[in-house]
Structure 1
Amino acid sequence: MNTSNQNTILPTDEEKLHIANTFLTSLKNDEWDTMRSIIAPDAIWTLPGTSILSGPANGADAIIRRAQGLKRFGVKFQLMHILYGLHGVTLSLHNTSSRDNLILDEQVAIVCQINDGKITSMATYLSDVAGINQFFVPGIID
């Protein structure tokens, strides 16, 4: 019998919705302290690819820096769906941006695990990894 989750209290759907909306609102409105309030200090956010934003972002500060980087590249986030799981939510997004002749047009799923009222991990899944590798390159944002 697996006892590793016996002390974990599952988040309610209302808590999941609140955290999902807080994350998205914070992202859209540059409310970084609010975002920090729903992210565990040791959380991790993974993003596929080889772009300057790809890989793991370890800790709340690194997660916020990644979110700020997305904003500096001009990414617009359109919520398509919030999908509920046992331990968290998945944010289904349509992310877009453009720069010169490059266009970012991605279907994105961010799987968020929640424990004790905070996001403990985030994993991003993309429709076009090659597209982010071309779009998020050094020298565009400082």
Structure 2
Amino acid sequence: MSGTSAQYAVGKAFHSALAEADWNGLRALLHDDVAWTLPGDSAISGTAQGPDEVAGLARRIAGYGLRFELLHILVSRDNVALSLHNTARRDDSVLDEHVATVLALRDGKVARIESFLSDVDGVNAFFV
């Protein structure tokens, strides 16, 4: 598999694991020293370290009923980014945001994840 095809495949598998709540599948994509950082001051903000914490963070996010709509998979020479439109509704709270999640790869696995949010204040209000 060529470099860009490999990155694309990891990005697709990462999104599928999120969308299908496949936490073991997600863990299989991750390096032992993986870290996922999200901005803000919400229940999902900060940095999760290691495959168990990262999978736990993904599970916590999904537990709020998010729909992870994949808009694009973007590849660089070495890494991959997901362009997502995340939506959810909980009681009177509505989440409608665009997210860029960058997956830094090492040896074909995810070594670092950083998410960029279009509405940090909205995320802070939704994830309480």
2:5 aligns to what? Answer: 14
Once the two structures are TM-superposed, the CA of residue 86 in structure 1 deviates from its matched residue by: 2.2
1:91 paired to 2:82: yes
Distance 1:86 1:56 in 2: 25
Q: Whose Rg is larger?
A: 1
TM-score, normalisation: structure 2: 0.96
Aligned to 2:14: 23
Give the deviation of 1:26 after TM superposition: 1.1
Partner Cα distance (1:76, 1:125) in 2? 17
| Matching residue of 2:55 | 64
Does the alignment pair 1:38 with 2:29? yes
1:124 aligned residue (112, 115, 125): 115
Identity %: 39
Q: Distance in 2 between matches of 1:132 and 1:94?
A: 13
State the Cα RMSD in Å.
Answer: 1.0
Segments of 5+ residues of structure 2 without an aligned counterpart are none
Find out whether 1:110 has 2:122 as its counterpart: no
- Does the aligned pair in 1 maintain the 2:34–2:50 contact within 8 Å? yes
Count of aligned positions? 127
Question: How big is each residue's C-alpha offset from its partner over 1:88-113, in whole Å with a ceiling of 9 and x where there is no partner?
Answer: 01100000001111110000000111
User: Retained in 1: the 8 A contact 2:8–2:74?
Assistant: no
Structure 1 stretches lacking a partner, 5+ long? 1-10, 138-142
